[in-house]
Amino acid sequence: MSNPFPIPLNALRAIEIVARRGALAPAAEELGVTVGAVSQHLRRAEDRLGMELFARTAQGLKPLPALAQVLPQLSAGFTQLQDGLASLTGAHEGVLNVTVGSVFASRWLIWRVHKFSALHPGLEVRLTVTGAMLDLGRPDIDCGIRYGDGKWPGVETSLIGGQDYQPVCSPLLLQRVGDLSDLSKVPVIADQTSMLDWPAWLAHAGLDPLTALSGPVYSDASLAFDAAISGQGVLLAADMMTADAVSDGRLVRPFEQPVTGKRGYFLATAKGRREPKKLRLFRDWLAEEVPASARGYVHQNVVNTARM
């Protein structure tokens, strides 16, 4: 009877990691071996299969077409093995590891995650706050919250919210932006990390999409938010991220003309990965909390308007 696994499991794992990450070092770190050992795994696997698996390029190791075709199956298989072992041992069921960007963490999640913890006191939420797109197939990450179009390779996504966006500024700056034409005369904060589209918003508002805008430039989205709150300029931001600051008066929306874009915040998981109970609870909580936070903002503004 022929051996259904002519390649050792560790070698298969090395192939999968290198194909996904494009380098030997990540595989060596994850497997707890040297880079040389990973290189030997690949060479011996290619010898046994009688075919080359990778193209050695200046940009790293690139899977050749035959390997690229089966890579999703390999990745899903190892993810299911990890999840199966975790289920067998009951490991990590009391901890939910979420990777999230700094803006979503600091402007929305950190103010509300205590509600989730109160509903599920036996479940601890651990946040990995980073702008990097971490590998969701890692065993120490259960899910991520990412901003974009929701289309990432090897990832399953569901929309959370955050598609509407518009300019915001501090109340101190409001008197200088009474009219749309004033945008070209006041500082406009440039967030270099933002994927929001000023030309699209300008066109929606009836302005020339090529209107020249200038002001302070930030390479960190959280600092751009703080700059807007401190009165340094007008910032284009997702309504979901500014709702709390607008509600408590730190920011205002001078034009009240939101645009619904194609991008938003998505709950993301590795494709093919089993969804444990802790993740279902978090998904269900987000589905309730996001609309609730929007209603809270609207209610607060209705109250404030009634008092004026």
Q: 286 and 252, same structural domain?
A: no
Q: What's the full length of the chain, in residues?
A: 308
Judged on CB neighbours under 10 Å (0-12, 13-18, 19+), 243 is: buried
Measured CA to CA in angstroms, residue 171 lies from 137, 165, 189, 243, 248 at distances of: 44, 18, 15, 15, 11
Residue range 134-189, pLDDT digits in tens: 778 777 889 999 999 999 988 999 999 999 999 999 999 998 998 898 999 999 99
Domain that holds residue 280: 95-159+263-307
Which two tokens mark 92? 């990590």
Give the C-alpha separation, 27 to 15, whole Å.
8
Q: Say if residue 228 is in the same domain as residue 295.
A: no
Residue 296 in this model has a pLDDT that exceeds 60: no
Q: Is the per-residue pLDDT at 247 higher than 50?
A: yes
Same domain for 283 and 143: yes
Residue 204 above 60 pLDDT?
yes
178 and 152 in a single domain? The answer is no
**Same structural domain, 267 and 198:** no
- Specify the pTM: 0.69
The count of domains in the chain is 3
